[in-house]
Amino acid sequence: MEKLWGGRFEGASTPWIDAFGASIEVDQAMAEQDLIGSLAHVKMLGETGILEPEEAAAISSGLQILQQKLARGELTFTIQNEDIHLNMEKLLHAEIGPVAGKLHTARSRNDQVATDMHLYLKTHVQLIQEAIHDLQTALVAKAAEHIETVMPGYTHLQHAQPIAFAHHLLAYYEMLARDKERLQDSLKRIDICPLGAAALAGTTFPIDRAMTADTLGFQAIYANSLDAVSDRDFILEFLSDASILMMHLSRFAEELILWTSHEFQFVTLTDAYSTGSSIMPQKKNPDMAELIRGKTGRVYGNLFGLLTVLKGLPLAYNKDLQEDKEGMFDTVETLLSSLKIFTGMIETMEVHSETMRQSTEKDFSNATELADYLAAKGLPFREAHEIVGKLVLACTKKGYYLQNVPLADYQAISPLIEADIYDKLASRTAVSRRHSEGGTGFDQVASQIEKAKQALQM
């Protein structure tokens, strides 16, 4: 097959080398964006007089036919035509004849592919933000059901202090809010149009870059043509934001995995988000959560892969940049599917409130309550801390908990301790009393939920 760039070459191409150099199997994901960009480009060529009106109209009509065929799944792409751009040009030629060759006037594949990627990422970042919003909505709804559900709070994966389960869920709401903000901020760098930079130096044709940028809905154009075709910072930023988002999902997935275990039994995931064992009939495995935890690694890999591709590239375009797309597409699909799965898991999971509560009654997570109790009565906190630490040690040796210590023993330790200590040591009381802003007190959690609902406009 004759190459669209083959005029300079004498030798025939080799199929297996063509396959190695082709990117169509990857970049056909941008077929829609490629056609949108071409329509904007030909509109500008016609309105600036670079093409005759009838030429621009014929090309525009042909591109619209290709859009319709693409929507119906009727377009076939070939490795011989290398990438989505040359495939579309060949298909356009088949529709309208030689005038199709004028579409590429004042344009290079270099600024064309960069434009496609900006368009693709702009659309999909917004879809990811919507998916984050859905997960946040599920978290807030579940939190509203469990404002007064008490569970152990952990540090070092050891029982630390009792907290509200809703408070724990809302911590992830806040992480996701930052993820959404980061993605929103990245649109400032994504929403810039490289079209018109041509190969690297601009063009001699009297193009109107502002017109194409406006037609495509971009907020700005690249100020430097070299930068326009070589910049992949906007993809790196997206991959970095995506890595942080996946890290948050992975942390939460790890907790779900722990909570569904026999040792915790805090929650049960529905069968839709679980799988069984081929040999152990009793098993119900949290595989979807495990997969999200595992897929975090591939998103990290996509970020480091592109950083490595770019680290030694001179300006402007180099074939290495063909490696910039697969990781971007993979990350987008990984995020969208992971967020959808996570939303479903949260919406449908069963929370075992009583199990959570009981786990706070058979531990020493109320030790801080006793230290605070003594400090509130005037004892220096460090002294109170030491007293309670020694008491916990004595309890562990005797096999009982702080709420089981007789009042006489308490008063032998400190006359400041009175009969009200047992109410103060109750985990529910401990949680309810933490009224500091942003704390786990039930009133604070309820306030956080209302603020979240307003932010989400639930």
Task: Note the pLDDT tens digit of each residue in 208-222.
Answer: 999 999 999 999 999
User: CATH 1.10.275.10 spans which residues of the chain?
Assistant: 15-105
The architecture in CATH of the region 15-105 reads Orthogonal Bundle (1.10)
In the chain, the amino acid numbered 74 is E
What is the tens place of the pLDDT at every residue in 106-160?
999 999 999 999 999 999 999 999 999 999 999 999 999 999 999 999 999 999 9
Mean of the pLDDT values across residues 224-230? 98
Split at pLDDT 50, 70, 90, the class of 20 is: confident
Query: Does residue 13 surpass a pLDDT of 90?
Result: no
Both structure tokens of 396: 């562990």
Query: Does residue 14 surpass a pLDDT of 80?
Result: no
Does the annotation count 435 as an active-site position? Answer: no
User: Domain 110-146+163-205+217-354 falls in which CATH fold?
Assistant: Fumarase C; Chain A, domain 2 (1.20.200)
Phi/psi of residue 152, nearest 5 degrees: -75, 135
Out of 261, 277, 435, 447, the active site residue is 277
Percent of the chain clearing pLDDT 70 (strictly above): 97
Highest mean pLDDT (candidates 33-47, 316-330, 396-410, 412-426): 33-47
Residue 278 has what pLDDT?
A: 83
Mean pLDDT of the chain: 94
Query: Does residue 16 surpass a pLDDT of 70?
Result: no
d(CA 372, CA 307): 50
Query: Does residue 2 surpass a pLDDT of 60?
Result: no
Out of 156, 262, 278, 436, the active site residue is 156
Multiple choice CATH, 362-456, 2.40.110.20, 1.10.40.30, 3.20.20.70, 3.40.50.720: 1.10.40.30
| pLDDT greater at residue 277 or residue 45 | 45
Residue 293 has what pLDDT?
A: 98
Does the annotation count 337 as an active-site position? Answer: no
Mean of the pLDDT values across residues 307-322? 94
User: CATH 1.20.200.10 spans which residues of the chain?
Assistant: 110-146+163-205+217-354
What is the tens place of the pLDDT at every residue in 247-281?
999 999 999 999 999 999 999 999 999 988 888 88
Mean of the pLDDT values across residues 413-439? 93
Q: Residues 6 or more apart from 203 whose CB is under 8 A from it?
A: 106, 107, 196
Split at pLDDT 50, 70, 90, the class of 296 is: very high
**Neighbouring-strand partners of residue 268:** 350
What is the chain's alpha carbon radius of gyration, rounded to the nearest angstrom?
A: 31
For residue 198, is it left (φ>0), alpha (ψ between -120 and 50) or beta?
A: left
pTM of the predicted protein model: 0.92
